[in-house]
Structure 1
Amino acid sequence: MKFSTGFYLLLCLALFQYCNTKNETEVVKGIHQIEISKEFLLDHENDLQFKAIDTIDLERPGNPPISSIQYITFAKDYIFLLDMKQGLLKFDHDGNFIQTLGKKGDGPDEYNVPTSIYLDEINSRVLLADWEKMVLSSFDLEGDFIASSKKLPGRPISIYKENDKVLVIQEGIESYGSGAQTVLLSFLEPTTLEFNSQETPLYSFYSRFYRINTFLKPFGKKNENLLFYIPRVRFEGMVDQKDTIYRVEEDHLIPEYQLDFTDFGKSDTIRTQSVEINDGNASILIGYKKDSYHLILDLKNSVPTFSRQLPRESYSLEVFPKHLTKDTYYSIIKNMKGAEEKNPKIVMYALTKE
């Protein structure tokens, strides 16, 4: 029995570590080290604080019920909100519902499992990624369907601007092998929806714990460098508490930052639940025991700058602050009190010094 248990543990360690079959690189000289101590994560006293600067109440007469907000983007005059049940919704900046763009369904101008949207204000259109259909669809700002792309090689999870193209991040389909997870890239022209895809996956690993679509913002930028970070799976007994943020160079990855979580024991299981990289900051949602923490890293100076425990009774991925700009964030705040369910509020924050 002891032999079986030990063998099983070794098998787990081998199976659940990230295995980047194409791009995993040994730590190289020049990689930036960022040390995140247990004390900093759990007990850090911040010089920075979140200050609410605006609130948009979506509980207004005539507004549809909103259950689970997947994504929000802010235009000059409108807010486009992607709800898992209602679809793509358009509001004014006071929170008044204007219209639904498209509708959910199986038709050629409909979508099934929307995961992300991208606002193309230059061409006055919104792009929507459909995870199930594996396409991107475009709508004008008045809600009319324009076109859908051809089928992508993978399931789209997020969309980014990259020069005059749109970068579509996808997770590979099951044909890549049992337990295999892959990250695929396609470069799409936003008006014609024509795309070119890289021939091989950018990144691959094995995991039974989650699919990539759990992490919707794996890419970001620092200066002109495109960065990539999908956190490794962690479990109790794991010894190596390190992680890597990569720099994207054409079709491969180069280690740019090594995150070293120090002073955590073998029984300390830290879970990375969500990540965003914006203007040289990495904003990470960390789960430790039964609590969740918001951690911010300054990538320019390679240091952690902020950590706070999120209120346990109100925690959800929607509450986790998401970037608008480098020092401005928003959260989705739901009414947690009373039996009557109401639409949430969008709360804007500035991250400022005390």
Structure 2
Amino acid sequence: MKRNLKIPTKCVLLLFAVLFSFACSKNNNSGELKSINILEAEKSELNISEIAESIEYLPLAGDSVLATIMKVVHANGDYYVKDNKSKFLRFDKNGNLKNQIGRRGKGPGEYRYVSNFVVHPNGNVYISGGKEGKIMVFSPEGKFLRTFDISQKYVSNFEVFNDNFLLYFGPGAEHIPENMEIVDTNGTVLKTFTNQYKFERGKAILSFTGECIMYPLNGKLYFKEIFSDTLFYFDGEEKIPKIILNSGDNRFSPEARTKAIKDLSADPRNPSNALIESVIQRSLFESSRYLFYSYGFNKKGHILILDKKSGQQTEIDREVGIRNDLDGGPNITLKMNKNDNTILAWVDAFELKSHVASEAFKNSTPKYPEKKKELEELADSLSENDNPVLMLVKLKE
């Protein structure tokens, strides 16, 4: 016997309202993608007290001397520090040296150099650049454990992604059909992403530190490719746009890169106008409140600081940095995030001692005179040849 199912009118209306509300919400969210015209930001000097609450200094023990620091990662209470000569050390929370991670060489378990590294939630350290077509795995104590194969010879950048890894193979020349992969801790490919920005290869080799920038924040992984103005994050395995850092006609395009390669191939002594007139990203990271975007343009270094709370945009000279009016210390160039609200910077021991001995420091009137005194005592305790001093800058929320 056939029966007609009758749904009360109120239920139908309620269901329609819910679906309509969801559709509107989805449309509104897709229409809220914020766009920042980075070359139109207000150019200004900046005091660190305008964005930060405090600075903590952490001298790194000089048992093993570092050259120029390239990357610092804070994980499991320790600081993993790599310099430009591939010396790779682990320090405790007080700056005491715990151990070296591997060593350079051609023998078993040794690496040619450390291009990049990440610390996985399992505690192990994963290194790229050590051997072609492989990721090397070390224990926190620095013992070599194993390697796993990857699909390309070189990884431009990689980061932990939901207990797996996001790998970026770059630069994305025309011969690379997929330039991004998600792999597990054994190198098994879980997902690939098509290379959307192909350019022509030439005789000149042209590469950049910011080919694809990645960083974690609030449990999500963010990334921005050098050819794209859009910063993305991952929702599951789906790429979601977050914000557009609009460089307009000065965007560094695959066509601009192709022209720059041809120009440099013809005359390596002269910089190509295609590079000078393009915005070339260098670094990008965030705190809960601020976004920091460092780039080169027109032969100068720039840093855009976006206050996500107020919407205020400030551009500073990368070579000048941020004036330290909290304790009178040297100007600060923020490097990368330690966590969601603390940013890392560092200063050479020689530079810190020279600054504290200067008349500018002696005559300065910072907001916290007692911190100035502590900084002076710290500088006096250092030797000019000591390791750099980490700066832990706690930002305003």
TM-score range relative to shorter protein? 0.5 to 0.7
- Counting aligned pairs with the same residue, the percent is 17
Aligned-partner Cα distance in 2 for 1:68–1:48? 28
CA 118–65 in structure 1, closer or farther in 2 if over 3 Å, else same: same
Structure 1 residue ranges without an equivalent (≥5): 1-27, 233-241
CA 262–187 in structure 1, closer or farther in 2 if over 3 Å, else same: closer
1:347 counterpart = 2:346? no
1:284 counterpart = 2:270? no
Does the 8 Å contact 1:171/1:183 carry over to 2? no
Does the 8 Å contact 1:119/1:127 carry over to 2? yes
Aligned-partner Cα distance in 2 for 1:44–1:349? 15
How many aligned residue pairs are there? 302
Q: CA deviation at 1:340?
A: 5.1
Q: Trace 1:7-86 onto structure 2 (pairs within 5 A).
A: 31-36=33-38, 38=40, 40-42=42-44, 48-60=50-62, 63-86=63-86
Q: CA deviation at 1:145?
A: 1.1
Larger radius of gyration: 2
Aligned-partner Cα distance in 2 for 1:46–1:84? 27
Aligned-partner Cα distance in 2 for 1:74–1:243? 29
1:196 counterpart = 2:189? yes
Equivalent residue, structure 1, for 2:378 = none
Aligned-partner Cα distance in 2 for 1:229–1:249? 15
- TM-score, normalised to structure 2's length? 0.61
CA 200–172 in structure 1, closer or farther in 2 if over 3 Å, else same: farther
Aligned-partner Cα distance in 1 for 2:172–2:225? 17
- 173, 179, 184: which is aligned to 2:179? 184
Higher relative contact order (CA 8 A, sep 6+): 1
Q: CA deviation at 1:57?
A: 1.0
- TM-score, normalised to structure 1's length? 0.68
Does the 8 Å contact 2:334/2:343 carry over to 1? no
- 283, 291, 301: which is aligned to 1:275? 283
1:309 counterpart = 2:317? yes
- 246, 259, 268: which is aligned to 2:245? 259
Aligned-partner Cα distance in 2 for 1:331–1:243? 26
- By percentage of residues, which structure has more helix? 2
Deviations along 1:143-175, one digit per CA (max 9) or x if unpaired, are: 21111111432412333222232222222587x
Q: CA deviation at 1:230?
A: 2.5
Please give the secondary structure, in 1, of the residue aligned with 2:42.
helix
Aligned-partner Cα distance in 2 for 1:71–1:46? 22
Aligned-partner Cα distance in 1 for 2:219–2:98? 37
Aligned-partner Cα distance in 2 for 1:183–1:40? 38
Q: Trace 1:165-180 onto structure 2 (pairs within 5 A).
A: 165-171=164-170, 176-177=174-175
Equivalent residue, structure 2, for 1:23 = none
CA 48–326 in structure 1, closer or farther in 2 if over 3 Å, else same: farther
Deviations along 1:161-206, one digit per CA (max 9) or x if unpaired, are: 22232222222587x45xxx8872232323xx23206556444243
1:244 counterpart = 2:230? yes
- By percentage of residues, which structure has more strand? 1
| Worse-superposed segment, 151-160 or 274-283 | 274-283
Equivalent residue, structure 2, for 1:9 = none
AA in 2 matched with 1:324? K
Deviations along 1:219-263, one digit per CA (max 9) or x if unpaired, are: 34677775431334xxxxxxxxx9333456888867653333589
AA in 1 matched with 2:283? V
Equivalent residue, structure 2, for 1:211 = 207
Please give the secondary structure, in 1, of the residue aligned with 2:112.
coil
- 341, 349, 361: which is aligned to 1:327? 341
AA in 2 matched with 1:54? E
Aligned-partner Cα distance in 2 for 1:51–1:288? 31
Aligned-partner Cα distance in 2 for 1:51–1:328? 10
Q: Trace 1:100-249 onto structure 2 (pairs within 5 A).
A: 100-121=100-121, 123-130=122-129, 133-171=132-170, 176-177=174-175, 184-190=179-185, 193-196=186-189, 198=191, 201-206=194-199, 210-212=206-208, 214-215=209-210, 218-220=213-215, 227-232=222-227, 243-246=229-232
AA in 2 matched with 1:219? M
Aligned-partner Cα distance in 2 for 1:231–1:109? 33
Aligned-partner Cα distance in 2 for 1:47–1:102? 40
Equivalent residue, structure 2, for 1:93 = 93
CA-based RMSD: 4.2
Aligned-partner Cα distance in 2 for 1:95–1:182? 44
Structure 2 residue ranges without an equivalent (≥5): 1-29, 251-272, 323-331, 355-382
CA 220–92 in structure 1, closer or farther in 2 if over 3 Å, else same: closer
Aligned-partner Cα distance in 2 for 1:103–1:205? 36
